[in-house]
Structure 1
Amino acid sequence: MSFSMLTKNELARVADARRCCKLAELAALVKMDGSLQISGRRVSLNIFNHNAAVVRKVFKLIKEIFSLQAEVLVKKKMRLHKNNVYVVRIPPQEGLREMLVQLGMVKSDGALREGVPGDLVRNECCRRAYLRGVFLGGGSVNNPGGTYHLEVITGKERHAVDICRLLKKFNFSAKVSQRKSWYVVYLKESEQIVECLNNMGAHSALLEFENARIYKDMRNRVNRLVNCETANLNKTVNASLRQAENIRLIARFLGMDKLPPSLREVAELRINFPDASLKELGEMANPPLGKSGVNHRLRKLDKIAEKLRTGSDFPESAAPEVESE
């Protein structure tokens, strides 16, 4: 089962105690998935969804708030790997028109009403319930093990813009994009997705998301540290090999006895301990040297080797005495 499905199943079990919150959540579900069917002067309402738990919640809310007659239908998909579509159908009856007005589907004069009904989301608790409803009606969230992405898809641009504004009231940096004939409201930042799940009431999904995010961040951090250590190790090994090669060149063409004692000591230490770090070489010197002192002398040896390669003239003494460290 996908992470989105688990999240929706959890949200479908969230039950608000206040009527205003129930009304806001049902209004969002009807806005997202509802369809009016008009035959002459008779009007019926159909609400479609692929999730059985969401459909049960829609049916329950209709019964609790309006006590209208409703039925649940199942439309079988003939294509392979297609989920069934569940339909909550409210046939023509007295009280349906009033229900549509209260849900913000139509105005009192019968005209269709677009966007989020402002009178249903005045309170913060109702705004949370409305967000939960739009997610149940057309939302999804990626598995936190992959890319972070939460989105809500609606067919109306005005509704998408209003949902985006509603999210921004909770300080979420939501954005709207168009995907073919649909409008997508989405969040990309993991912290904001976690907070959005919390506001909607998906606390178990939130914990699972956080666990996966922490594991993913820790794995990425370990990989970065390993890559950094590997790069540093490669750099150290390459430098050690270069220094040893230069020292052998000096020994072959110039002779170690021609080097000043300070350079000869460091050169012999590097040849004898090719895997040692600069700090370790400095600790073995007599007297001990710091990393900068060892590095300074190795650089002088590199310069001598470079002059040997280019055929530069050398005085009898290959290099002046290194300043005391």
Structure 2
Amino acid sequence: MENFTEKLKQEILLESSCENCAKMVFFALLYFSSSFEREGGRMLLKISFPSIYVYRKIFPLLSSLQLEKDDLQCVYNRKNVIKRIELIIRSESFEDKKLLEYHFNKALIRPFLKDACCFRTFIKTVFLLKGSIVNPDKQYFLEINFGGNDKIAGMIIKRLKKNGITIRKNNREESLMLYLKRFDEIIRFLHVLQCPKFIMFMQDRSLVKEIRNNTNRKINCDMNNLNRTVNTGISQATLFQEILDSKYYGKLDEISRRLIKARIKNPDVSYVELGEILELTKAQVSYYIKKINRKYLKYKNNLVNS
């Protein structure tokens, strides 16, 4: 089964366009995928990566900060497949660079988010860590789990709005989720992530989906019309058989008598097809059927009252 989230994340590239881009990668890890642990009287920062390919995308920029790595661990699941990568960093390395204060005061990153390349790097890293997208054949839905980072989410919402993207928010199990459900806004968000191949993939799936829906709609419409034609024809044939067996039939003109016999023989055809059999137009067929129905109803009422 194709994993569309992985397909999208594989295309995301992290590049250092300015000296602050590497810091934005670290801040995203700090807020969304890290925890502090005390070991042997010293503080360690444990950073978790959801997969090997995410680790390989992020680590080159992270390494440019020259943080002192204490350990690198692979956590396996029951099937002995790597579940996540854990990077342990010594507290001294980021304390010297004054990076820790950004953990306690998240508003400090606001100036960085105003810069286009820094914002792009930050949102790319956040999506690599916490983002997902649903199979576009089923529905259009992209979301990012912001956990308890309400302040960061607020900054991201405002920044994306400048890009013409109105991202919605929802609380799920004490986690703040930002999500998109409209196709055009998901495409604009993918432009922010700089994923042209996935954009083409989405547009191709959207076109196929639209063609399929239009085809199904036309088939359903044709089936409804056919059912309506058949039901109408059967009810008319039943009534016309009653007229044929009555004395009223002898009072009808030749066209009406021919029409009654043709409808009884062909209860499932449309007015157009019935007209072709009798060499009449659709409008003429409709006129004579209404005329027959109206006059026969009047004839029956007169019989009852007499």
TM-score (norm 2): 0.85
Whole-angstrom CA distance in 2 between matches of 1:307 and 1:74: 92
Contact persistence 2:15–2:121 (CA under 8 A): no
Q: For 2:95, which of 94, 97, 113 is the aligned residue?
A: 97
Q: Deviations over 1:298-324 (max 9, x none)?
A: 12323345557xx42259xxxxxxxxx
| Distance in 2 between residues matched to 1:214 and 1:16, nearest whole Å | 35
Query: More deviation in 34-43 or 240-249?
Result: 34-43
Output the amino acid matched with 1:93.
Answer: E
Gaps of 5+ in 2: none
Q: Which residue of 1 aligns with 2:122?
A: 130
Assess if the C-alpha contact under 8 Å between 1:174 and 1:186 holds in 2. yes
Other-structure match for 2:193? 200
- Give ranges in structure 1 of 5+ residues lacking alignment: 316-325
Task: Name the counterpart of 2:283.
Answer: 292
Number of the residue aligned with 2:178: 185
Aligned to 1:114: 106
RMSD between aligned residues = 2.9
1:115–1:178 Cα change, 3 Å? farther
Question: 2:244·2:260 contact (CA, 8 Å) conserved in 1?
Answer: no
Q: Secondary structure at the match of 2:59?
A: helix
Secondary structure at 1:195 match in 2 = helix
1: CA distance, partners of 2:54 / 2:252:
84
Instruction: Tell whether the 8 Å contact from 1:74 to 1:84 is kept in structure 2 after alignment.
Output: no
Give 1:282 deviation, angstroms.
Answer: 3.3
Cα distance change on mapping 1:163 and 1:269 into 2, 3 Å: same
- Scaled by the length of structure 1, the TM-score of the pair is 0.81
Distance 1:62 1:254 in 2: 98
Q: Who is 1:6 aligned against? A: 7
How far 1:20 sits from its partner (Å)?
3.8
Q: 1:84 corresponds to which residue?
A: 83
Mapped partners of 1:199, 1:47: distance in 2: 25
Alpha-carbon spacing, 1:46–1:282, altered in 2? closer, same or farther (3 Å): same
1-structure distance, mates of 2:177, 2:82: 22
Aligned length: 302
1:55 CA displacement? 1.4
Amino acid at match of 1:106: E
**Residue 296 of structure 1, CA deviation:** 2.4
Cα distance change of structure 1 residues 254 and 81 upon mapping to structure 2, 3 Å threshold = farther
**C-alpha distance in 2 between matches for 1:9 and 1:240:** 59
Aligned residue for 1:312? 301
Q: Does 1:264 align with 2:257?
A: yes
Are residues 1:246 and 2:244 paired?
A: no
**Aligned partner of residue 256 in structure 1, secondary structure:** helix
Note the alpha carbon deviations across 1:78-114, whole angstroms, 9 max, x for none.
55688522112221334x225453xxx525xxx7112
Residue in structure 2 matched with residue 280 of structure 1 by the alignment = 273
Matches within 5 A, 1:140-179: 140-156=132-148, 157-179=150-172
Listed one character per residue, the Cα deviations across residues 5-41 of structure 1 (whole Å, up to 9, x for unaligned) are 1211221x44344334444344323321133446799
Query: Are the equivalent residues in 1 in contact too, given 2:45–2:88 (CA < 8 A)?
Result: yes
Query: Aligned in 2, Cα 1:21/1:76: closer, same or farther, shift over 3 Å?
Result: closer
Contact 2:106 2:152 in 1 (8 A): yes
Shift of the alpha carbon at 1:131?
A: 1.6
- What secondary structure does 1:140 align onto? strand
Q: Is the 8 A contact 2:142 2:181 kept in 1?
A: yes
**Are the counterparts in 2 of residues 116 and 162 from structure 1 also a CA contact under 8 Å?**
no
Q: Summarize the Cα distance change of 1:296–1:265 in structure 2 as closer, same or farther, 3 Å threshold.
A: same
Could you tell me whether the CA contact under 8 Å between 2:71 and 2:89 is conserved in 1?
Answer: no
Residues of 2 paired with 1:121 and 1:234: CA distance?
60
Structure 1 outlier segments of 4+, above 6 Å: none
User: Could you tell me the percent identity over the aligned residues?
Assistant: 25
* Cα separation, partners in 2 of 1:253 and 1:137, compared to 1, 3 Å: same
- Counterpart position of 1:319: none
Query: What is the deviation of 1:57?
Result: 2.6
The answer (yes or no) to whether the contact 2:234–2:267 under 8 Å persists in 1 is yes
Amino acid at match of 2:95: R
Would you say 1:225 and 2:218 are equivalent positions?
A: yes
- Following superposition, the deviation at residue 139 of structure 1 comes to 0.8
Give, in angstroms, the shift of residue 60 of structure 1.
Answer: 0.9
Change (3 A) 1:115 1:267: farther
